[in-house]
Structure 1
Amino acid sequence: MAHPPLIVVAGPTASGKSQLGVELAERLDGEVINADSMQLYRGMDIGTAKITAEEARGIRHHLLDVLEVTEEATASAYQRQARDVVADIRARGKTPIMVGGSGLYIRAAVDIIEFPPTDPDVRRQLEDRLQVEGPQALRAQLRAADPESAAVVQDDRRLIRALEVVTITGRPFTTFMPPHQYEPSVEPVVQLGLRVNREVLHQRIEDRVATMRRRGLLDEVRQLAAQGLRHGKTAQHAIGYQQFLRVLDGAISEDQAAEQTVTATRKFARRQETWFRADGRIHWLGAPAEDLTDRAEEAIRAATG
């Protein structure tokens, strides 16, 4: 008997992916696999809009709350974990449904991707140079060695990673991202993408941040700071958390943090849309809509014959 397809529900933040994932799982006897890199962290619940027990409606969810905030999340580790979970769900005759907006993590799970090596000593040297020389010097080095990566790298963490790869391998970081090609062991795969009108999405993001604030995001950040959030290489950079850490420092007000979180989330949503639009295998669905789950199920049937 053929494997049940791996269903991927992707799209920008606040587009309704979690709800669709649960509804598809109910219809297809499925289980959900988290594909949001920040929802891997224990305690990062409010600021990541992590699904609640009530919202999950009894559907089993995997790869939530598997890291401490001081640990580093990596796509290569996620690749191994997610593929193991997909195999386990299928072995029990159920349908795996991957839900999230972390594009690289989704590709890591479903595509043939070779992840470049790491070297703590090289990374430490680059981090020291960043502190002494500033990012412009390192960006100039990356432009000379890997102009394609330099054009898209937007933060210091990715700048360090791109230079680390060039230093270790002598190859541009971009050469490790192959064309879109599914890993045979995870096929068949059906990818669904949620497309939301820009104005509607902006309002949904604003409403979501307001809800996070009412639910106690500042208190959550305070608790996580006590657990070492500031020392987490990945977690401390999460949108919302980095802004509300500045509230704890007295640098900005809670109102300012909320406003900055909305702005940063909107920019992030645009980057997510750009990433997913580049993948021609995704079946796009307009959202939100009352018949969204029906149309998603139709797309799955059409793709799987």
Structure 2
Amino acid sequence: MRFLLRRGYSTLRLFKQSMEPLVVIFGSTGTGKSDLAVELATKFNGEVINADAMQMYEGLPIITNKITTEEQRGIPHHLLGNVPISETPWTILQFRDAAAKLISDIRERRKLPILVGGSTYYIDGLLFDDRIIKDQSADTILDRDELNTRFPILTESGEVMLKKLREVDPVMAERWHPNDARKIRNSLEIYYTTGRRASEIYAEQRSRKESKWAQASESSHSPWNVLMFWLYARPELLNERLDNRVDKMVASGLLDETAAVYDWYQSQIAAGETVERDRGIVQSIGFWQFEPYLRAVKETPESTELAKLREAGISDTKAGTRRYAKYQVRWVTTKTLVSIQEERLLDTLFLLDSTDINTWHGEVAGKGVDLTRKFLAGEQLPQPVDLSETAKEVLTAKVERSNRKDTPCNKRCDLCDSTFLTEELWQKHIKGQKHSKAVRWAKRRALARTDPRRRALVAVEGQVADPEPV
């Protein structure tokens, strides 16, 4: 398998050749993805492959919300707790390489591979070959330390990297927000590792895909033999569930784990090691939220503010978890669904309603088991929108949203110190309350320069007017 990948064979081709089944489970945190994976593995002689970046780290079962040994029910779980906390998360290429080999190994044992996780970009990279930008040989891909050594600009600020990107790939530079250093860096990495502009590679991919489907019959179906489950819960109820889960995590020892990560982080800093704040285990929700509390415990253990800082950490962790769940749905809508439609796989994507925890066994486990049985038996599957009212409502709306093409632009609002990359976001901004308020105050400040009475009024209301005398 590894040899084939290095020779330029995509995972897609390998799946097509084998025509053996693969079950994929994704969705927001807190919807029961791991539980469904175990249920299906128990019923259909399967093994589970983890596709959650944080759960790949060793130890720290609470902060990464790993499935416990008891909950695994004897089912083999792969890529779970296999990475030291000192390492950065695997790249998509690393994950794809390892997961593809595991899928092959599991199939050789005549078992069903079940891929599950919330890091949907890993799943996308495995299933949809065009989602990965690379040279013809995987051997040319450098790790992050090698890239930083060979191309020092990749360690610079987002502003400096964006200036360089404008020189080598102006098309991609127009796509990224000036503050989005990670995406800017990724575009530069593509340029440096492949010797080609990312914008050109993306254009070629779009052209190949359009050509492929233009030649295909409208009635043709993808040769993939994959069944996908999207576990979805309505935000208002999921948010309450996630808040309760954080409370349980705190009661189970979340603060002890965050303290252990904090000690490791401080030891790395003391040793002169560089720890990127937006990569690795420190990305896990709960660490940065509790950092003020953890620092105070170390530096001022007798402080009367500890209880307040602890409660703030809990509140911030809940808010961060809710934001992450929203982000996961947005990723599925704007990226995963687009690829699923392009590969004509919508008829094998089933949304399971995980909103009500009391009906989880029927709505999620029960329907998941029934669909998997039919899938493996080669029976006719129902239409995904007919599975439930929630499936019909959400799938219809999200597919329509994924088909909507935003109008690219690059507009900056100096009043609000913000940049917008689509016309839709720009229009939303200039019609919003924040911008309207900024415009009003700009007018007041302008008038204050010529009218002393207005100048005094602006100062009283807490705004800084022009300091120069009138």
What is the TM-score normalised by the length of structure 2?
0.56
Q: 2:198 aligns with which of 163, 172, 176?
A: 172
Paired position in structure 2 for 1:89? 106
Shifted more, 274-283 versus 222-231: the winner is 222-231
- Written as runs of structure 1 = structure 2, the 5 A alignment for 1:123-142 is 124-127=152-155, 129-130=156-157, 135-136=158-159, 138=161
Which letter does structure 2 place at the counterpart of 1:268? Y
Q: 2:369 aligns with which of 275, 288, 297?
A: 297
| Sequence identity percentage | 31
- Kept in 1, the 8 Å contact 2:232–2:353? The answer is yes
User: Deviation string for 1:126-173 (max 9, x for gaps)?
Assistant: 32x31xxxx45555766844157515x975444433333345544237
- Kept in 2, the 8 Å contact 1:149–1:174? The answer is no
Paired position in structure 1 for 2:121? 104
- Written as runs of structure 1 = structure 2, the 5 A alignment for 1:127-276 is 127=155, 129-130=156-157, 135-136=158-159, 138=161, 144-146=170-172, 149-150=175-176, 156-166=181-191, 168=193, 169-172=195-198, 175=201, 187-228=224-265, 231=275, 233-250=279-296, 253-276=309-332
- Kept in 2, the 8 Å contact 1:20–1:293? The answer is yes
Whose RCO is larger (CA < 8 A, sep 6+)?
Answer: 1
Shifted more, 279-288 versus 171-180: the winner is 171-180
Shift of 1:206: 0.8
- Kept in 2, the 8 Å contact 1:9–1:194? The answer is yes
Take 2:235 and 2:291, find their aligned partners in 1: how far apart are those partners?
29
3-state SS in 2 of match to 1:253: helix
Do residues 121 (structure 1) and 135 (structure 2) align?
no
Alpha-carbon distance change, 55 to 211 in structure 1, aligned in 2, over 3 angstroms: same
Which letter does structure 2 place at the counterpart of 1:298? D
Shifted more, 272-281 versus 87-96: the winner is 272-281
Report the structure number with the largest CA radius of gyration.
2
Do residues 5 (structure 1) and 21 (structure 2) align?
yes
Shifted more, 257-266 versus 20-29: the winner is 257-266
- Kept in 2, the 8 Å contact 1:17–1:99? The answer is yes
Take 1:68 and 1:237, find their aligned partners in 2: how far apart are those partners?
14
Take 2:320 and 2:165, find their aligned partners in 1: how far apart are those partners?
25
Q: 1:40 aligns with which of 56, 61, 69?
A: 56
Take 2:56 and 2:292, find their aligned partners in 1: how far apart are those partners?
23
- Kept in 1, the 8 Å contact 2:153–2:161? The answer is no
Alpha carbon RMSD of aligned pairs, Å?
A: 3.1
Which letter does structure 2 place at the counterpart of 1:259? S
Do residues 15 (structure 1) and 31 (structure 2) align?
yes
Shift of 1:187: 4.8
What is the TM-score normalised by the length of structure 1?
0.84
- Kept in 2, the 8 Å contact 1:43–1:220? The answer is no
Shift of 1:264: 1.8
3-state SS in 2 of match to 1:249: helix
Alpha-carbon distance change, 188 to 220 in structure 1, aligned in 2, over 3 angstroms: same
